[in-house]
Chains A and B, each alone.
Chain A
Amino acid sequence: MGYTAKFRVWRGDAGSGALKDYEVEVNEGEVVLDVLHRIQATQAGDLALRWNCKAGKCGSCSMEINGRPRLGCMTRMSVFEQSETLTITPLRTFPVIRDLVTDVSFNYEKALQIPSFTPDPDTKPGEFRMMQEDVNRSQEFRKCIECYLCQNTCHVIRDHEENENAFAGPRFLMRIAELEMHPADEADRRDIAQDDFGLGYCNITKCCTEVCPEHIKITDNALIPMKERVAGRKYDPLVWLGSKIGLRPKSAGTPSVPGKRP
């Protein structure tokens, strides 16, 4: 059975805007994105919103629904009370282009800074052999649809814009962890994870894990293991002792990323 829902949608651009009220028809089985499309079709033809697959796989329709970062296409209307007013706002961490569309280029810049896959140069194409158990961990991280909800909800940059240069955000620290755990990757990214990409800023409050629509255990399986790897290089008393008495080989870290350190 259909009903009329109350929506408050943030409308504006260049950072200035306001919540605007709409009353809109909702039908059984619909998601928030469907209802926003109905508002666009019937009441606000100039409402800007980004979407593509409507199946939770493209990561385009990231928005904040009643203050919680979510995908519009994966948020069923049935989870809300029919009498409830839904407040829809753009991702708070990124600059607004218009209405619900934000400029997420910060993420592409961070992605470019990460040293790419670095295999043994003597291994020729076709010679890579990996067992399934060696790639299970990385494959979990490859489920990422780059919706950037984790980047948006992380308070390190959400509440502190000044940390944007120093902190890559959970999505890209997870990328570093993925490469660090890759069986055929030979680079040591522990130093740059800490010093260039701001792993130390993470205080493991697990908000990134909480919002991930792919249910990737970002904190437990990527960020904490990465913190442990950094601790192994810098803070483990037994590793330190082992390297002093020659039981542990010293490994060179990946050179720092240009322009990241003063």
Chain B
Amino acid sequence: MTQVSEAPARTRAQISERTLRKDPWWRKPALVATLLTIWVLYATVRVFTGHWYWVPQYHYLTPFYSPCVSGECVPGSSSLGQWIPAIPPIIPYAFVSLPFVLGFRLSCYYYRGAYYKAFWRAPSACAVREPHASYSGETKFPLIMQNLHRFFFYMAVLISILNTYDLVQAFRGPDGAFGIGLGSIIMLINVVLLWAYTLSCHSCRHITGGRLKNFSKHPARYWIWTQISKLNTKHQQLAWTTLGTLMVTDLYVMLVASGAISDLRIFN
């Protein structure tokens, strides 16, 4: 009787190279890591500086200090009042909004993918072997907290309303009447793009209509979902653009507030 030998167990192709990609796959994660690091360093320095965040004659308030609720805030800059006594800026003056802004960006679906690749190398690029021995993704603490993105979205909407209030104030001249300066224009661009970034969020897309099974029964929500979906395709671009506009807005307010430059006034 002929003996039939068992087929060997099938295993994956044993290829020792981490990747066989020949394109410069490392460039994008390196660029993302560099830009995010620069931005975080700049923002960290600025929120703890405690100076040059408010231009009293033109009512410019940098978004990094909105709302200015510390007792240290200079007169006129506290649109929501001062909630705590004067303390050194070891606590950022806008401590009520900054954690939510940070949480919104950290849990954003675009940024998550970007920083997992750029910093955590999980993976660095597609089809490039990651260096970790095990992987549990967003199933365990702390990364399971990413599911709170929607909560941060709700807070981001409130903060965008506050930014809009600050913008309206920035269209007042030295006498309190209507006025326009270069700072007002920069703040306008920033706030419009911040709204676009906030509303293009995947959570917003879900809440407005994505959660429905039957669009035909909810034509108004379907229309809103369609518009948000169009905006959502630009979420990545908006994520980067708003980092830039936040930085430019803050830098401009800082330069004017410190007296390094004068605001270019267009009207009043």
| Chain A interface residues toward B at CB < 8 A | 10, 12, 14-17, 64, 66-69, 84, 87, 89-90, 92-97, 102-103, 131, 133-134, 153, 155-156, 158-163, 181-183, 185, 198, 200-207, 210-211, 219-220, 224-225, 227-232, 234-238
* Chain B interface, number of residues (Cβ within 8 angstroms): 53
Q: Which of A64, A131, A133, A204 has the most CB of B within 10 A?
A: A204
B117 partner residues in chain A, CB cutoff 8 A: 205
How far, in whole Å, are A94 and B113 apart by their CA atoms in the complex?
A: 25
Task: Tell me whether A89 and B15 are in contact (CB under 8 A).
Answer: yes
B138 partner residues in chain A, CB cutoff 8 A: 200-203
How far, in whole Å, are A179 and B238 apart by their CA atoms in the complex?
A: 31
Q: With A12-B13, A64-B127, A204-B109 given, can you name 17 additional A-B contacts, CB distance below 8 Å? A: A14-B11, A66-B21, A67-B19, A87-B20, A89-B13, A89-B20, A133-B216, A133-B222, A155-B123, A156-B137, A181-B213, A183-B213, A200-B138, A203-B113, A203-B138, A227-B109, A227-B147
How far, in whole Å, are A160 and B12 apart by their CA atoms in the complex?
A: 12
B188-203 interface code vs A (CB 8 A; 1 in, 0 out): 0000000000000011
Query: A103 and B21 in contact (CB under 8 A), knowing A159-B123, A203-B112?
Result: no
Task: Tell me whether B148 and A68 are in contact (CB under 8 A).
Answer: no
Q: Which of A96, A220, A230 has the most CB of B within 10 A?
A: A220
Task: Tell me whether A153 and B211 are in contact (CB under 8 A).
Answer: no
| B210 touches A (CB below 8 Å) | yes
| B5 touches A (CB below 8 Å) | no
Beta-carbon contacts under 8 Å, B87-138 to A: 109, 112-113, 116-117, 122-123, 126-127, 129-130, 132, 134-138
B109 partner residues in chain A, CB cutoff 8 A: 204, 224, 227
A102 partner residues in chain B, CB cutoff 8 A: 13
Query: A15 and B10 in contact (CB under 8 A), knowing A64-B20, A64-B127, A235-B147?
Result: yes
Nearest CB of chain B from residue A249's CB, rounded to whole Å = 14
Task: Tell me whether B13 and A68 are in contact (CB under 8 A).
Answer: no
Task: Tell me whether B147 and A234 are in contact (CB under 8 A).
Answer: yes
Q: Which of A161, A183, A205, A210 has the most CB of B within 10 A?
A: A205
B12 partner residues in chain A, CB cutoff 8 A: 15, 92-96, 161
A235 partner residues in chain B, CB cutoff 8 A: 147-148, 150-151
Task: Tell me whether B206 and A68 are in contact (CB under 8 A).
Answer: no
| B242 touches A (CB below 8 Å) | no
How far, in whole Å, are A12 and B154 apart by their CA atoms in the complex?
A: 55
Contact of A92 among B13, B123, B144, B206 (CB under 8 A): B13
A181 partner residues in chain B, CB cutoff 8 A: 213
How far, in whole Å, are A14 and B130 apart by their CA atoms in the complex?
A: 24
| B2 touches A (CB below 8 Å) | no
Task: Tell me whether B15 and A205 are in contact (CB under 8 A).
Answer: no
Task: Tell me whether B211 and A159 are in contact (CB under 8 A).
Answer: no
Task: Tell me whether B135 and A103 are in contact (CB under 8 A).
Answer: no
Contact of B135 among A17, A93, A155, A185 (CB under 8 A): A155
Q: Which of B12, B116, B129, B139 has the most CB of A within 10 A?
A: B12
How far, in whole Å, are A182 and B139 apart by their CA atoms in the complex?
A: 26
Task: Tell me whether B137 and A202 are in contact (CB under 8 A).
Answer: yes
Query: A96 and B11 in contact (CB under 8 A), knowing A202-B137, A224-B202?
Result: yes
Task: Tell me whether B113 and A159 are in contact (CB under 8 A).
Answer: no
Beta-carbon contacts under 8 Å, B1-47 to A: 8-15, 17, 19-23
Q: Across the two chains, which residue of chain B brings its CB closest to A133?
A: B215
